[in-house]
Amino acid sequence: MELKNRFIRSAIWEELADEKGHVTAELIKHYIELAQGGVSTIITGFSSIMEFDQPTNNMNGIYDDVFIDEYKGLTTIVHEYNTNIIMQIVHGGSKWGPSAVEHLITKTTPKEMNKKDIKEVVQAFGDAAFRVKEAGFDGVQLHVAHGFLLSMFLNPYYNRRKDDYGGSIENRAKIVFESYKSVRDVVGEEFPVLVKVNSEDFMDQGLTAEDSLYVCKALSEMGVDLIEVSGGSYSSREGEGPIRGNLDKKEKQAYFKEYAARIAEEVDVPVALVGGNRNMDIMEEILNQTNIEYFSLARPFICEPDIINRWINGDIASARCKSCDGCFGVRNGCQYI
């Protein structure tokens, strides 16, 4: 897969699909605006691999073959603008989980998965990836971050299993490795497979940076094509989740850069940094001083879908995004537009 620049639109909950996850005119319009705006690669909003477990409303679906033709139309349009589009696939973990532990924020308690359930999820990731490839996407990304199912398995607070899917990081990561292999076996060696991972969970008893590094190194050795480094979830300490505000000062931006830089130093695959990328000078400094190769943005594209074209054309002023979270999903839009 060729990229025309180093900028990636990171996955975001768009809330533009219909209630079953099907493509809508609004969703297509959103991706066309992004493709016109100059970004090299779009990663879609997270897309559910099993219909019964969708953590948010109006999220994309990829849990049935009926979606293939719908997305073919979408990928064809995006490709007209020399833009790549990758689908992010996810299991929500709201109804099934590694252990029956009440969620700290939602107060819901999932069913503890048995081995049969785990096998079904692993198979569902592979089935979803097959549909992604058939629909003409340029790659697929496994969502292993932000407290969804695969991320929950990595988290010792939520994963209290006593079998070979719990305990050590090697065991907790087993479903991640099995899901990756399920995807790779279906799409083949030449189709790009990406992962989005937490640098750490930023909560008591959560995934640590050391454990995250282990997972990233193992995935690198297995042949993953790119690792996008994020961090945190709804369970994180206040101000330490994946979506952070008060980025007016430059030192607060690119807030996962130290973690991503370490991972990039230790793995043999490209690393993309997401989280608070707003200023061209900061990103150029990171590019020149670390092994991080790509930069993912999410909220700035809601405010400025054409921000990459602006930068390419010489106006390198910082993103106009105030990181206020007033949008919280594309549907709400940006109050500063």
Find tokens 């996962």 and name the residue.
256
Digit-coded pLDDT (tens) for 39-76: 999 999 999 999 998 889 999 999 999 999 999 999 99
Residues facing residue 294 across a β-bridge: 272
Query: What pLDDT does 293 receive?
Result: 98
What is the Cα–Cα distance from 25 to 12, expressed in whole angstroms?
18
State residue 195's pLDDT score.
Answer: 98
Q: What token pair was written down for 289?
A: 């001083």
78-103 average pLDDT score? 97
Cβ neighbours for 304, distance < 8 A, ≥ 6 positions apart: 37, 310, 319, 320, 321
Place of tokens 């101000």: 239
Which residues are CB-contacts of 246 (< 8 A; sequence separation ≥ 6)? Answer: 252, 323
Where exactly are the structural domains of the chain? 7-332
47-56, 114-123, 202-211, 273-282: least confidently modelled range: 47-56
Q: Determine the Cα–Cα distance for residues 227 and 18; give it in Å rounded to an integer.
A: 30
Question: In whole angstroms, how far apart are CA 168 and each of 73, 173, 174, 203, 236?
Answer: 44, 9, 10, 18, 21
> What pLDDT digit, counting tens, does each position of 171-187 carry?
999 999 999 999 999 99
Q: Lowest mean pLDDT: which of 95-104, 107-116, 224-233, 236-245?
A: 236-245
21-25, 99-103, 241-245: which range is least confident on average? Answer: 241-245
Whether 243 has a pLDDT exceeding 70, the answer reads yes
Beta carbons within 10 angstroms of residue 66's beta carbon: 11
Q: Give me the pLDDT at residue 337, please.
A: 63
- With pLDDT > 70 as the criterion, what percentage of the chain qualifies? 99
Q: Is the pLDDT of residue 104 over 80?
A: yes
Which is higher by pLDDT, 203 or 321?
Answer: 203
Q: What are phi and psi of 47, to 5 degrees?
A: -125, 130
pLDDT band at 135 (very low <50, low <70, confident <90, very high): very high
Q: What is the DSSP string of 43-103?
A: EPSPEESSTT--SSTT-EE-SSTTHHHHHHHHHHHHHTTT-EEEEEEE---SSEESS----
For residue 332, the model assigns a pLDDT of 81
Instruction: Supply the mean pLDDT for the chain.
Output: 96
Q: What gap in Å lies between CA 274 and CA 255, rounded to an integer? A: 8
Task: Please state, in angstroms and as integers, the Cα–Cα distance from residue 272 to each residue in 15, 24, 192, 229, 253, following that order.
Answer: 24, 29, 14, 6, 15
Contacts 24+ apart (CB under 8 A), 271-274: 271/226, 271/227, 271/228, 271/229, 272/8, 272/226, 272/227, 272/228, 272/229, 272/296, 273/228, 273/229, 274/8, 274/10, 274/196, 274/228, 274/229, 274/230, 274/298
Range 7-332: architecture per CATH: Alpha-Beta Barrel (3.20)
Digit-coded pLDDT (tens) for 248-267: 888 899 999 999 999 999 99
